[in-house]
């Protein structure tokens, strides 16, 4: 089979790496790919949101199966267009992708179908939003409605912080059209976890648990990012808790979508807060998480391409997932200044040494290959991922590899996996 993976981040490197292990694969392309992906697949200079370009390439090269990594092309309707042309593709149609594409749609959907989530209000005018926050009930969370690369969520502990968040989203419009509406919701207390599942429109097949680290600094301080590290499994998710999440959240969501005429096929990702009242949804994503994908796929023993094909063909009920019992930890190495401004083009050294460690894989995110060298080319640069017989051993191995890698301005959180160690 010829497979095309759409995207350029650490998630896409992990997808390409895992798919390449399938006996059914003859050739893998990635559009546009990155410096690390180019060692596993043929990178194609087509942007992830250039749907016409991707469609033309898929037809020309007679691609048998396309896997969409990021959310933007899903929301823009890539799957709808590919399916209309008779091409097999992995991911939800645009209507289903609105679970992530619009937080207003998602929250209203959850309220309508009885899916546990935080209480909220929607605002399209900054004046009304400012009047609402003067009630003084803090902390609260303010979210931009549309796609914002994981950076459109503000946890506010005071009136001035909330005022600033409203101004950033609706006044300065740093997220553009994604900030025309905002959600203001109660701030849930508890521990977060990421629950990802495959879905073929009817059957839901849950992956093992994982936990992301959204804030940029240790101790969950600083602004939100696309994710600074992750580990799997997450001890906070017990077997009993997973059953509740599967029934009250995942299956209820799929049934609700079906009632609204949406057959959801692909990955559904529920960001969960484990509260005293039980698991509640923080947000939905409609694709593999980044960086959760890296540790998850390091642990997945089942042929990923077989699972994706079963989703596409609506035969997921015939599949069973098998997992490595070891723990996996991913530490993200980022460019200085991220998630704000950062420099590019710095040479990365030590990649070979890190990759030589048993059960370690360095997934590239923001990199580019130039003249035989790997250079930084993004905010999140690498996802150094390790397997270990326990969480602490996986943590030690991942950080041991991280310390072998150097580039100008490199920084990373030092506490990835700490919550699991405490558990």
Round to whole Å and give the CA distance between 77 and 355: 37
The reply to whether 310 and 341 lie within a common domain is: no
The reply to whether 71 and 130 lie within a common domain is: no
The reply to whether 254 and 291 lie within a common domain is: yes
The reply to whether 240 and 294 lie within a common domain is: yes
Q: Does 63 map to a domain?
A: yes
What mean pLDDT is predicted for residues 207-214? Answer: 96
The reply to whether 304 and 399 lie within a common domain is: no
* pLDDT for 150 beyond 80: no
Share of the chain above pLDDT 70, in %: 100
Query: Tens digits of per-residue pLDDT, 312-329?
Result: 999 999 999 999 999 999
Q: What is the structure's pLDDT at 224?
A: 87
Q: What is the structure's pLDDT at 219?
A: 94
Local confidence band at 137 (pLDDT 50, 70, 90 cut-offs): confident
The reply to whether 261 and 313 lie within a common domain is: yes
Note whether 357 and 414 are within 8 A (CB): no
The reply to whether 207 and 305 lie within a common domain is: yes
**Sheet order of strands, 27-32 included:** 42-43, 27-32, 2-7, 65-68, 89-90
* pLDDT for 197 beyond 90: yes
* pLDDT for 401 beyond 80: yes
Q: What is the structure's pLDDT at 90?
A: 98
Q: What is the 3-state secondary structure (H, E, C) of 252-288?
A: HHHHHHHHCCCCCEEEEEEEEEEECCEEEEEEEECCC
SS3 content of the chain, % helix, strand, coil (to 5): 35, 30, 40
Q: Does 204 map to a domain?
A: yes
Q: What is the structure's pLDDT at 149?
A: 79
**What's the structural domain count of the chain?**
4
Note whether 99 and 237 are within 8 A (CB): no
Give the structural domain span for 415.
327-422
From the list 413, 405, 396, 393, the residue with the least C-alpha distance to 356 is 405
The domain boundary residue, chosen from 262, 286, 318: 318
* pLDDT for 417 beyond 70: yes
The reply to whether 204 and 305 lie within a common domain is: yes
Bigger pLDDT: 96 vs 137: 96
Q: Does 147 map to a domain?
A: yes
The model's pTM is: 0.95
The reply to whether 308 and 203 lie within a common domain is: yes
**What is the residue-averaged pLDDT of the chain?**
96
What mean pLDDT is predicted for residues 200-227? Answer: 95
Query: Tens digits of per-residue pLDDT, 163-194?
Result: 999 999 999 998 999 999 999 999 999 999 99
What mean pLDDT is predicted for residues 387-393? Answer: 96
Query: Tens digits of per-residue pLDDT, 56-65?
Result: 999 999 999 9
- DSSP state letter for 203: -
Q: Does 110 map to a domain?
A: no
What mean pLDDT is predicted for residues 82-96? Answer: 98
Q: What is the structure's pLDDT at 423?
A: 66
Local confidence band at 136 (pLDDT 50, 70, 90 cut-offs): confident
The reply to whether 197 and 173 lie within a common domain is: no
Local confidence band at 220 (pLDDT 50, 70, 90 cut-offs): very high
What is the domain-level CATH number for residue 334? 3.90.600.10
The reply to whether 386 and 406 lie within a common domain is: yes
The backbone torsions φ and ψ at residue 289, rounded to the nearest 5 degrees and listed phi first, read -80, 160
What is the domain-level CATH number for residue 141? 3.30.1490.20
Alpha-carbon distances of 223 from 14, 65, 191, 218, 283, rounded to whole Å:
26, 37, 18, 11, 17
From the list 76, 7, 42, the residue with the least C-alpha distance to 378 is 7
């Amino acid at each position: 089979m010829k497979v095309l993976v759409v995207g350029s981040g650490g998630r896409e490197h992990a997808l390409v790496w895992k798919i390449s292990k399938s006996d059914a694969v003859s050739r893998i392309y990635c559009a546009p790919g990155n410096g690390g992906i180019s060692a596993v697949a043929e990178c194609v200079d087509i942007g992830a949101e250039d749907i016409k370009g991707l469609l033309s390439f898929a037809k020309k090269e007679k691609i048998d199966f396309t896997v969409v990594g990021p959310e933007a092309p899903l929301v823009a309707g890539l799957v709808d267009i590919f399916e209309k042309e008779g091409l097999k593709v992995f991911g939800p149609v645009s209507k289903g992708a609105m679970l992530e594409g619009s937080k207003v749609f998602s929250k209203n959907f959850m309220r309508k179908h009885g899916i546990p989530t935080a209480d909220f209000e929607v605002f399209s005018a900054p004046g009304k939003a400012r009047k609402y926050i003067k009630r003084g009930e803090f902390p609260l969370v303010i979210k931009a409605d549309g796609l914002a690369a994981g950076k459109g969520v503000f946890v506010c502990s005071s009136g001035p912080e909330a005022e600033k968040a409203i101004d950033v989203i609706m006044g300065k419009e740093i997220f553009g059209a994604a900030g025309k509406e905002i959600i203001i919701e109660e701030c849930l207390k508890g521990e977060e976890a990421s629950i990802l599942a495959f879905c073929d429109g009817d059957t839901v097949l849950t992956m093992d648990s994982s936990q992301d680290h959204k804030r940029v600094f240790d101790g969950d301080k600083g602004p939100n990012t696309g994710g600074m590290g992750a580990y799997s499994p997450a001890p906070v998710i017990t077997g009993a808790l997973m059953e509740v999440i599967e029934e009250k959240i995942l299956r209820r969501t799929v049934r609700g979508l079906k009632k609204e005429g949406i057959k959801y096929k692909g990955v559904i990702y529920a960001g969960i807060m484990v509260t005293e009242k039980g698991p509640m949804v923080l947000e939905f994503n409609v694709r593999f998480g980044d960086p959760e994908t890296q540790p998850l796929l390091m642990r997945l023993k089942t042929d990923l391409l077989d699972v994706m094909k079963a989703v596409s063909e609506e035969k997921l009920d015939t599949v069973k997932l098998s997992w490595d019992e070891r723990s996996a930890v991913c530490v993200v190495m980022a460019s200085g200044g991220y998630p704000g401004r950062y420099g590019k083009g710095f040479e990365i050294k030590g990649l070979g040494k890190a990759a030589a460690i048993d059960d370690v894989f360095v997934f590239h995110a923001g990199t580019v290959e130039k003249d035989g060298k790997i250079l930084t080319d993004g905010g999140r640069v690498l996802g150094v991922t390790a397997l270990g017989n326990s969480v602490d051993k996986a943590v030690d191995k991942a950080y041991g590899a991280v310390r072998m890698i150097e580039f100008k301005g490199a920084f990373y959180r030092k506490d990835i996996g700490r919550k699991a160690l405490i558990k």
